[in-house]
Chains A and B, each alone.
Chain A
Amino acid sequence: MGEFDLSRILVWPKRKLIGVTFRLKARFEALPLVTAVTSKHSVMTAYFASSPAVVGEDVPGIAFFDITDADTPFSIILSELESTGMVKILEIIEPVAEGLLIDNISHPLTAGGERAIILRGAGYRDFVKGIKEQLDAAGKLFLYFEGCEMGKGYGKLHRSIAKAVGIKDPIEICRRVSLPAFQWAGFGRAEIIQISYSGGTVAIYDSSNARGRR
Chain B
Amino acid sequence: MTGEPYGDLTRGILAGVYCELFGKDCEVRETECLAKGDKRCVFEIKEK
Contacts and interface: CB of A to CB of B under 8 A. Distances in A.
Chain A interface size, under 10 / 10 to 19 / 20 to 34 / 35 or more: 35 or more
B26 to A, nearest CB: 7
Given A150-B16, A151-B13, A209-B10, A199 B26 contact: yes
Contact of A178 (B12, B17, B33, B44): B17
Interface string B22-34: 1000100000111
A201 B42 contact: yes
A202 B40 contact: no
Interface stretch (A39-47, A50-58, A153-161): A153-161
Contacts of A12: none
Contacts of B21: 155, 158-159, 170, 173-174, 178
Given A152-B19, A159-B20, A199-B26, A204 B12 contact: no
Residue from the set A198, A212, A213 with the largest chain B CB neighbour count within 10 Å: A213
Contact of B11 (A128, A147, A158, A213): A147
Contacts of A152: 16-17, 19-20
A83 interface: no
Contacts of B19: 148, 151-152, 155
A187 B10 contact: yes
B36 to A, nearest CB: 9
30 contacts: A144-B11, A147-B8, A147-B14, A147-B15, A148-B15, A150-B9, A151-B16, A153-B16, A154-B20, A156-B20, A158-B17, A158-B21, A159-B21, A170-B21, A173-B21, A174-B17, A198-B46, A198-B47, A201-B45, A204-B42, A204-B43, A205-B39, A207-B34, A209-B8, A209-B9, A209-B10, A210-B35, A213-B1, A213-B2, A214-B34
